[in-house]
């Protein structure tokens, strides 16, 4: 009985910690957005409906919820979100934004049916997450009728409800000029990437390519929670993440290329990534892409993803399979 009570207490503490961490991460990410004009973007729902967010500003408040089908608190909060949609009325638009990260439209449709979701659902390509500083799931964004961002948070609580009520009452008489989202460059196979450095967990600033004469750079895009958090809900994906990490770590020791692990900033921190590195004895340098800039630059929406750059920064290969992306001399290396 005492063991059971301690176990329950531990679980409750873990849930409380995750909730607090999520709320603080969302608020910190959204701090620079509060009071700013919301981005003017046009989105398309999974049902083919086009929604011009900019056209809504000045007419309606807007409530966006960023979520993912693999996200447990997202599903737990869905009754609150569906209720908000049903009670929105003519002065508020409620839109679900699947973050698109390690998700699919097929999975979204399944969740839509299972959870009985009636609101419009958008499948993001990363651009909305970029515009609204996505760091956690779920992440709530509330935009007032004046077109300014009023609230960014993680929990479905009184603060969110108060923001939704306030958003409706915001006067549209002095509507903010809707901001255009940043147009960042993106790189695919065959493109040449401008030189940039990567800040690793050790504090070193490493060039993303060209550090080893005549040798390519292999960027392994990963998530430190992929192997554990979704081991039950997405076992194949968790296994893929584990296999990629194990294979990459072996190949990184053979000095045929410069290896860099780039971790997503979604639900991760330097501490979490450092624990992941220690737990698995990962030898290659790891860096946290806290803002998601590198994931966006290479349009990475799934982990693991491998990007191979030559000495001059040309993108040679891209794959979700480590061996398929590697130069021939490395892919021939066997695990010993």
pLDDT band at 194 (very low <50, low <70, confident <90, very high): very high
CB 299 within 8 Å of CB 323: no
Instruction: Specify whether 227 is located in the same domain as 289.
Output: yes
Eight-class DSSP state of 314: B
Bond preceding residue 147 cis, omega within 30 of 0:
no
Assigned domain for 186 exists: no
Tell me: do 128 and 48 sit in the same domain.
Answer: yes
- pLDDT tens-place string over residues 299-309: 999 999 999 99
Does one domain contain both 93 and 209?
no
User: Is residue 183 over pLDDT 50?
Assistant: yes
Count of CB atoms within 10 A of residue 222's CB?
27
- State the burial class of residue 50 (Cβ atoms within 10 Å of its Cβ: 0-12, 13-18, 19+): exposed
* pLDDT(14) > 50: no
Are 32 and 157 within one domain? yes
Instruction: Indicate whether 152 and 273 sit together in one domain.
Output: no
Residue 285 lies in a domain: yes
Total domains, the chain: 2
Q: Are residues 72 and 133 in the same domain?
A: yes
Specify the CATH number for the domain of residue 290.
3.40.30.10
d(CA 293, CA 100): 16
Q: Is the pLDDT of residue 15 over 80?
A: no
Q: Is 217 within a domain? A: yes
Lowest mean pLDDT among 54-68, 166-180, 247-261, 306-320: 166-180
Q: Are 327 and 257 in contact (CB under 8 A)?
A: yes
Same-domain status, 28 and 97:
yes
Tens digits of residue pLDDT in 54-74: 999 999 999 999 999 999 999
204 falls within a domain: yes
Question: How sure is the predictor about 179, in pLDDT bands with cuts at 50, 70 and 90?
Answer: low
Three-state secondary structure along 50-88?
Answer: EEEHHHHCCCCEEEEEEECCCCHHHHHHHHHHHHHHHCC
If phi > 0 it is left, if psi is from -120 to 50 it is alpha, else beta; for residue 147 that is: left
Per-residue pLDDT tens for 205-233? 999 999 888 899 999 999 999 999 999 99
- The pLDDT tens digits of the residues spanning 73-85 come to 999 999 999 999 9
pLDDT above 70 for 149: yes
- Residue 192: inside a domain: no
Three-state secondary structure of the chain: CHHHHHHHHHHHHHHHHHHHHHHHHHHHHHCCCCCCECECCEEEECCCCEEEHHHHCCCCEEEEEEECCCCHHHHHHHHHHHHHHHCCHHHEEEEEEECCCCCCHHHHHHHHHHHCCCCCEEECCCHHHHHCCCCCCCEEEEECCCCEEEEEECCCCHHHHHHHHHHHHCCCCCCCCCECCCCCCCCCCCCECCCCEEECCCCCEEECCCCCCCCCEEEEEECCCHHHHCCCCCHHHHHHHHHHHHHHHHHHCCCCCEEEEEEECCCCCHHHHHHHHHHHCCCCCEEEECCCHHHHHCCCCCCCEEEEECCCCEEEEEECCHHHHCCHHHHCCCCC
Domain of residue 165: give its range: 24-169
Residue 52: band (very low, low, confident or very high) from pLDDT cuts 50, 70, 90: very high
Are 164 and 287 contained in the same domain?
Answer: no
Domain membership flag for residue 188: no
- The Cβ-side half-sphere exposure at 35, using a 13 Å CA radius, reads 2
Q: What percent of the chain lies above the pLDDT cut of 90?
A: 81
Q: Residue 12 has what pLDDT?
A: 42
How many residues make up the chain in this entry? 336
User: Given this model, what pLDDT does residue 335 score?
Assistant: 38
pLDDT of residue 330: 57
Q: What is the pLDDT of residue 211?
A: 86
Joined together, the tokens standing for residue 284 give: 């290659």
Q: Does the pLDDT at position 7 exceed 90?
A: no
Share above pLDDT 70 across residues of the chain, in percent, rounded to a whole number = 88
Residue 332 predicted with pLDDT over 50: no
| Residue 16 within a domain | no
Least confident of 134-143, 182-191, 255-264: 182-191
Rounded average pLDDT over 117-136: 95
Does residue 74 have a cis peptide bond before it, meaning omega lies within 30 degrees of 0? Answer: no
If you search the block for the tokens 């009520």, which residue do you land on? 165
154 contacts 134 by C-beta, under 8 angstroms: no
pLDDT digits (tens, 9 = 90+) for 157-171: 999 999 999 998 876
| Per-residue model confidence (pLDDT) at position 169 | 85
- pLDDT for position 217: 96
pLDDT recorded at residue 89: 92
38-51: average pLDDT: 96
Are residues 117 and 224 both part of a single domain? no
Residues 28, 148, single domain; the answer is: yes
230 & 124 share domain: no
Assess whether 131 and 233 both reside in one domain: no
* Residue 4: predicted pLDDT: 39
In a domain, 219, yes or no: yes
């Amino acid at each position: 009985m005492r063991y059971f009570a301690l176990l329950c207490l531990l679980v409750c503490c873990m849930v409380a910690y995750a909730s607090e961490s999520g709320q603080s991460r969302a608020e910190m990410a959204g701090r620079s957005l509060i009071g700013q004009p919301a981005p003017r973007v046009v989105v398309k729902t999974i049902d083919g409906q086009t929604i011009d967010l900019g056209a809504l500003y000045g007419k309606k408040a807007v409530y966006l919820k960023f979520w993912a089908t693999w996200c447990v608190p997202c599903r737990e909060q869905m009754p609150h979100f569906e209720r908000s949609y049903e009670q929105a009325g003519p002065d508020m638009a409620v839109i679900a934004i699947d973050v698109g990260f390690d998700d699919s439209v097929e999975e979204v449709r399944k969740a839509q049916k299972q959870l009985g979701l009636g609101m419009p659902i958008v499948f993001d390509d990363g651009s909305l997450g970029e515009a609204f500083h996505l760091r956690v799931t779920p992440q709530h964004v509330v935009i007032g009728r004046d077109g300014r961002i009023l609230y960014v948070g993680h929990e479905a609580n009184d603060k969110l409800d108060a923001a939704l009520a306030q958003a409706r009452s915001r006067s549209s008489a002095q509507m903010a000029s809707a901001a255009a989202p940043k147009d960042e460059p993106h790189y695919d196979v065959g493109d040449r990437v401008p030189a940039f450095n990567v800040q690793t967990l050790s504090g070193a600033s490493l060039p993303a390519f060209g550090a080893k004469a005549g040798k390519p750079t292999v960027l392994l895009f990963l998530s430190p929670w992929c192997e554990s958090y979704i081991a039950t809900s997405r076992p194949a994906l968790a296994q893929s993440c584990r296999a990629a990490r194990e294979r990459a770590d072996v190949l990184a020791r053979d000095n045929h290329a410069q290896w860099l692990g780039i971790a997503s900033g979604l639900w991760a921190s330097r501490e979490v990534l450092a624990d992941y590195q220690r737990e698995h004895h990962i030898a290659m340098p790891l860096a946290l892409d806290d803002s998601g800039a590198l994931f966006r630059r290479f349009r990475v929406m799934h982990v693991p993803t491998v990007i191979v750059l030559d000495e001059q920064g040309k993108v040679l290969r891209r794959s979700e399979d480590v061996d398929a992306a590697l130069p021939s001399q490395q892919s021939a290396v066997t695990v010993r």
